[in-house]
């Protein structure tokens, strides 16, 4: 393999792994330090969940927009592409978080603490297990969403977007 090919491969690998790290940080920031008390009302059983959840998901979309607009600087159509990726993030995050938090959906399962577990009923223990499974499903879904965003961003930055679109 020649030097030019190795450089291209390494550049692609660094791009992908760099953005995987950036999106891990983005997800942590939007889910923890930047998620405020108002946004935690996304667990409400009635339609009161809507705007708090939208605000939370909007934070994810804002981070995605900032990350992608920087990555797409100087690339034709970059602003529209960054907006599109942010919209993908907000819609995917909104749908998954509602399924996770909605009391009629996965939100009906509650975690147990070390203090409550020994005296919990079998039903509560099963609910605890389902809570952790649903949290894993939620986080896995968000990671896959980020993988899709990173792949689409890579395709746009490296000039493969038109090729992929033609498939």
What tens-digit pLDDT sequence spans the chain (167 residues)?
899 999 989 999 999 999 999 999 999 999 999 999 999 999 888 899 999 999 999 999 999 999 999 999 999 999 999 999 999 999 999 999 999 999 999 999 999 999 999 999 999 999 999 999 999 999 999 999 999 999 999 999 998 877 777 77
CA angle 134, 147, 82 (to 5 degrees): 115
Q: Which residue has the tokens 């990350």?
A: 67
d(CA 32, CA 2): 45
pLDDT of residue 1: 83
pLDDT of residue 162: 79
Residue 54 lies in a domain: yes
**pTM for the full model?**
0.92
How many domains is the chain partitioned into structurally? 1
* Domain, as residue range, for 134: 16-166
Residue 5 lies in a domain: no
φ, ψ for residue 71, nearest 5 deg: -65, -30
pLDDT of residue 166: 78
Residue 134 lies in a domain: yes
Residue 6 lies in a domain: no
Distance of CA 113 to the CA centre of its chain: 27
């Amino acid at each position: 393999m020649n030097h030019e090919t190795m450089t291209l491969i390494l550049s692609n690998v660094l791009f992908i792994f760099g953005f995987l790290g950036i999106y891990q940080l983005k997800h942590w920031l939007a889910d923890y330090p930047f998620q405020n008390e108002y946004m935690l009302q996304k667990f409400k059983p009635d339609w009161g969940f809507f705007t708090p959840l939208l605000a939370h998901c909007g934070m994810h979309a804002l981070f995605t927009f900032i990350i992608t607009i920087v990555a797409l600087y100087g690339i034709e159509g970059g602003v529209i592409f960054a907006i599109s990726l942010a919209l993908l993030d907000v819609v995917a995050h909104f749908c998954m978080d509602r399924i996770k938090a909605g009391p009629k959906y996965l939100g009906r399962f509650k975690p147990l603490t070390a203090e409550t577990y020994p005296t919990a009923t079998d039903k509560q223990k099963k609910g605890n297990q389902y809570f952790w499974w649903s949290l894993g499903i939620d986080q896995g879904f968000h990671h896959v969403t980020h993988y899709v965003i990173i792949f689409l961003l890579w395709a746009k930055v490296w000039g493969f977007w038109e090729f992929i679109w033609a498939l």
